[in-house]
């Protein structure tokens, strides 16, 4: 019996780990990813702002030593969901159960001028490159902006603005600088009014300009201005953008998507194809595109696959809950605990910010590094 998992992010790693714990060597779990390393999303910001070196946040997939799990680094070229057949640069794989966890691909080129006049910070390469840019930035007009919806980790642009404010203050150049955050929502964190209010209050205290309900549509490098969806323009010396997100082309070509993303049963993560599941950012399950939600989906999908293999029933039901961590600066972190239930308005609560919650965030990363890679890891 073989389970092929396409994508080794939060969802794929949790699913493979769960199945290994359930079946060990009795099940062949093939975990496929184009990259050789995993990186937590928050680690990209830690590197970008000089808190930690790049090598310290990379988790090689070669470190995975779990019964029944084999990792294959390769590019997925074609998916046949009817036959549960996958073509890759490393050969073909047939599956009894197929899990698509390929995430969202990022397309900076989709926004005119972004690649030439600005910087994106959502890919690993983009965030690591910005580390060098920020290391020598002497202050000026900064725009942090979203260029398209949906996008991963909605709190991250707010975190970036707050962390940038802290960096410029430490350098003594904040007074000659401005920071503007452009986002397509009316609140920084719509599911949690308390978190949004706290973020907006902190923005007001620190002089960060909040520009809601609009997107950046184009950068004009000759004039160093960003064009917004409401027809206005903003001048900048440094532009940090969230690029357009799309489902990977190989997923769309497979006929898995509807309106750009893979629809799934929101309770079981099953697709319309028998024996095929999808988890994480590549789906339209109704939760934000963030690792903590993909992890929960991966755990539920693993339980349903295990039940199907054993030919038993399971009551496992994805509850749409996730706890995100939000950096406020000064070493303090807040938690945003949100629940997304199909057919209902999302509900969210906030804790902190505090130093204690910063320690909890560190434990979040360390515990998953231990569970997925079998290694001790410090996020500081």
Of 109, 104, 142, 128, the residue nearest 55 (C-alpha): 128
pLDDT at 344: 82
Residue found by looking up tokens 């050969």 in the block: 91
* Domains of the chain and any CATH numbers: 2-104+247-310 (3.50.50.60), 108-244 (3.50.50.60)
218-254 exposure pattern, b = at least 16 Cβ within 10 A, e = fewer: bbeeeebbbbbeeeeebebebbbbbbbbbbbebbeeb
The whole-number mean pLDDT for each consecutive block of 10 residues of the chain, a chain of 380 residues, reads 98 98 98 98 96 96 96 98 98 98 97 97 97 96 96 95 97 97 94 92 98 97 97 98 98 98 97 98 95 97 98 95 94 93 84 96 97 87
Q: Say which DSSP state 267 is in.
A: T
Full-model pTM: 0.96
pLDDT at 379: 65
Query: CA–CA distance from 118 to each of 113, 126, 203 (Å)?
Result: 7, 11, 23
Contact 309, 114 (CB under 8 A): no
Contact 317, 300 (CB under 8 A): yes
Conformational region of residue 42, where left means phi above 0, alpha means psi within -120 to 50, and beta covers everything else: alpha
Phi, psi of 141 (to 5 degrees): -85, 120
How far apart, in whole angstroms, are the C-alpha atoms of residue 288 and residue 263?
14
Strand 276-278, strand 85-88: pairing:
unpaired
pLDDT at 341: 82
How far apart, in whole angstroms, are the C-alpha atoms of residue 130 and residue 141?
16
Query: CA–CA distance from 131 to each of 44, 155, 265, 327 (Å)?
Result: 9, 20, 40, 18
């Amino acid at each position: 019996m073989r389970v092929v998992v396409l994508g080794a992010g939060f969802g794929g790693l949790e699913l493979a780990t769960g199945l290994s714990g359930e079946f060990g060597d009795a099940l062949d779990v093939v975990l496929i990813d184009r990259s050789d390393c995993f990186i937590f999303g928050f680690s990209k910001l830690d590197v970008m702002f000089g808190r930690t070196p790049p090598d310290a946040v990379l988790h090689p997939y070669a470190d995975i030593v779990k019964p029944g799990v084999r990792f294959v680094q390769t590019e997925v070229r074609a998916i046949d969901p009817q036959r549960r057949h996958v073509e890759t640069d490393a050969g073909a794989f047939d599956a009894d159960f197929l899990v698509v966890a390929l995430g969202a691909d990022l397309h900076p080129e989709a926004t005119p001028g972004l690649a030439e006049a600005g910087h994106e910070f959502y890919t690993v390469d983009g965030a690591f490159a910005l580390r060098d840019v920020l290391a020598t930035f002497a202050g000026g007009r900064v725009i942090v902006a979203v260029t398209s919806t949906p996008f991963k980790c909605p709190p991250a642009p707010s975190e970036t603005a707050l962390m940038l404010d802290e960096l410029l203050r430490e350098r003594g150049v904040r007074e000659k600088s401005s920071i503007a955050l452009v986002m397509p929502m009316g609140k920084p964190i719509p599911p949690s009014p308390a978190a949004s209010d706290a973020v907006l209050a902190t923005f007001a205290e620190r002089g960060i300009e909040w520009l809601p309900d609009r997107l950046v549509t184009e950068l004009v490098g000759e004039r160093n201005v960003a064009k917004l969806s409401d027809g206005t323009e903003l001048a900048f010396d440094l532009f940090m953008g969230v690029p357009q997100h799309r489902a990977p082309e190989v997923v769309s070509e497979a006929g898995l998507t509807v309106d750009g993303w893979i629809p799934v049963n929101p309770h079981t993560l099953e697709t319309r194809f028998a024996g095929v599941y999808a988890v994480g950012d590549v789906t339209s399950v109704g939760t934000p595109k963030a690792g903590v939600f993909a992890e929960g989906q991966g755990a539920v999908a693993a339980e349903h696959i295990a039940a199907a293999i054993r030919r038993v029933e399971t009551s496992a039901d994805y509850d749409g809950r996730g706890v995100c961590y939000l950096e406020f600066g000064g070493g303090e972190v807040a938690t945003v605990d949100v629940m997304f239930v199909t057919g209902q308005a999302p509900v969210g609560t906030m804790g902190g910010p505090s130093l204690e919650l910063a320690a909890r965030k560190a434990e979040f990363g360390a515990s998953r590094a231990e569970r997925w890679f079998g290694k001790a890891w410090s996020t500081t």
